[in-house]
Structure 1
Amino acid sequence: MSTWLGRSSPPGRDAAYDETVSEAERARARSDGRAWGRFTRNFVVQGTAAEWALCWMGALRRMLWQLGGGDTASVPLTARPHLVFFLHDELIVHTPEDLADAVADAMRAAAAEAGRILFGQAPVEFPVTIAIVDSYADAK
């Protein structure tokens, strides 16, 4: 099995039908096989979600760069919106206050773009909850 973009789960070992091992070993192999199946299905779902998040971050970084003036702006990174942290599907962006609403719009647009990159026109929605705060400790 593989993720949408092709990362493969390593194959499991299957001794469940090996007649050269004991019945106890075959029973253990069947149990291990069921566990491996659960792992592999989860790998595909979680791996594809990680691929979507990577596409989201890539699209967002491009949009943030443009919001900050693009290549022609002569302001330091700290004065323009930029991605500062991510964990799974949570992104933290630092931005000048006057661009906060535009950054929120960019986050939603980037999520939709990532969905189109991975899933084309499939009717899949990627809702994004955004909190605009002065401190990450205040985000909920």
Structure 2
Amino acid sequence: MGSLRGKPRRRDGFYDNPYSRFGQLNYEMWRAIRLVVDTGIHDFGWSRARAIDFFKQNSAENDHDIDVEIDRYIMTPGYALAYKVGQLKIAELRTRAEQKLGDEFDIRPFHDVVLGAGAVPLDVLERRVNEWIDAQSISEN
């Protein structure tokens, strides 16, 4: 599943100083590098050494962490992609909830619905969130 902390928004009170913003951007870059490396290894035939070099050239991570990450991607194709797909789906569901609920949208119950689902396929998560949106809409009327 995706990461709820992957894209908190400034309007939610996150990243209100340069240090937290830098951390957020660093994490986004880490995710992007992971996607390139995973694809490079499994679709373009990159060697382990080439993947390590790419990671080193594009991040500030230490050698040990890079080695561990590369080995993980070699062993589990698509691993990095799963995080991004989950992040995008959660962002889509949040946008849908915000649009349908308007001013009544509250991030805390939304998080409860998403996290309360546990590790479920994204179509199941989407159904749960849609049911929650419908229930919120009914209770508003």
Please indicate, yes or no, whether the TM-score normalized by the shorter chain is above 0.5. Answer: no
Structure 1 length as normaliser, TM-score? 0.33
More helix by share: 2
The answer to which structure, 1 or 2, has the higher relative contact order (CA under 8 A, 6+ apart) is: 2
